[in-house]
């Protein structure tokens, strides 16, 4: 998939951007896989430059949304990171998803937020509406969104997320196939928003856990997953230069 990509827009109410899909390699690198997708669409960079930027920013097995904002800045992509918390919510300490190395991560992530303005990393504390997201997509831009995988349901899958029913088509195989010994309340996961159908009430997105087709959720379900406690309503807006 090479060359310039343009949005495929059928009507003002239906947008589906031609964003390539990349599958994550490990359980922790969904954010990096999403970054590869948007970079291919927005601002192609070499694999060498991408890996060099990740090494420089020390992106290993714990990648937060603020890390992705720094990565996009490092690679020259115009961005805006919107979140409800400018730092780490101390309440996350109680969640199993965040419990590992929480003290170290809290200090590291808080420092990134503190230094963001001086590093020209664009961060804003605010809520984002569905209409604002749709307007962003309609202009040919994309967004990386942090969701709770336990809440997100793809309409193209035959099994609702978190029910432990087997489905070879499920785009969250680790969840749907019962790989968690105890179902967590929150499982953070990054996806790439790439379009919407206003009449049907859908959002289209790429899921790095499942790269075979475009995923689709109702707006109400996507908002539930996006606003779930643990996400801080994190959304990283990324802009396609004209």
Does residue 178 come out as left (phi exceeding 0), alpha (psi in the -120 to 50 range) or beta?
A: left
Residue ranges covered by each domain of the chain: 20-238
The owner of tokens 């019962």 is: 178
- Count Cβ atoms below 10 Å from residue 138 Cβ, excluding itself: 18
> pLDDT at position 229, please?
92
Q: How big, in percent rounded to 5, are the helix, strand and coil portions of the chain?
A: 35, 20, 45
Q: Which of 4-13, 25-34, 75-84, 141-150 has the lowest mean pLDDT?
A: 4-13
Higher pLDDT, 96 or 31: 31
> What is the tens place of the pLDDT at every residue in 183-195?
568 889 999 999 9
**pLDDT tens digits, one per residue of 166-214:** 444 456 555 444 434 445 688 899 999 999 999 999 999 999 987 667 8
pLDDT surpasses 80 at 97 = no
Average pLDDT over residues 142-168: 72
For every residue of 11-38, DSSP letters joined together read: ETTEEE--------SSSS-HHHHHHHHH
pLDDT given at position 15? 96
Q: Tell me which CATH code domain 20-238 carries.
A: 3.90.70.10
Run of H or E including 189: strand 188-197
Q: In whole angstroms, how large is the CA radius of gyration of the chain?
A: 17
Q: Which pLDDT does position 180 carry in this prediction?
A: 41
Strands 142-148 and 235-238: antiparallel
190 in Cβ contact with 31 (< 8 Å): yes
Torsion of CA 190, 179, 214, 67, to 10 degrees: 10
């Amino acid at each position: 998939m090479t060359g310039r990509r343009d949005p495929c827009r059928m009507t003002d109410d239906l947008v589906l951007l031609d964003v390539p899909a990349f599958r994550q390699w490990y359980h922790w690198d969904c954010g990096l896989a999403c970054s590869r997708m948007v970079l291919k669409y927005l601002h192609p960079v070499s694999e060498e430059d991408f890996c060099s930027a990740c090494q420089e920013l020390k992106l290993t097995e714990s990648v937060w949304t603020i890390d992705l904002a720094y990565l996009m800045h490092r690679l020259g992509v115009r961005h805006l990171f919107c979140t409800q918390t400018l730092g780490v919510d101390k309440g996350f300490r109680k969640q199993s998803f965040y419990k590992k190395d929480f003290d170290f991560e809290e200090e590291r992530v808080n420092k990134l937020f503190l230094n963001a303005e001086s590093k020209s990393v664009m961060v804003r504390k605010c809520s984002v509406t569905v209409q604002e997201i749709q307007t962003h997509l309609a202009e040919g831009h994309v967004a990386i969104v942090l969701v709770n995988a336990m809440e997100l349901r793809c309409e193209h899958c035959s099994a609702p997320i978190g029910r432990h029913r087997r489905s070879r088509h499920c785009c969250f195989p680790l969840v749907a196939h019962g790989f968690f010994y105890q179902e967590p309340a929150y499982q953070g996961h990054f996806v790439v928003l790439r379009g919407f159908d206003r009449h049907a009430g859908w959002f289209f997105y790429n899921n790095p856990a499942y790269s075979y087709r475009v995923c689709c959720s109702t707006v109400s379900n996507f908002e539930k997953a996006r606003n779930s406690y643990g996400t801080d309503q994190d959304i990283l807006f990324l802009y396609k230069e004209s």
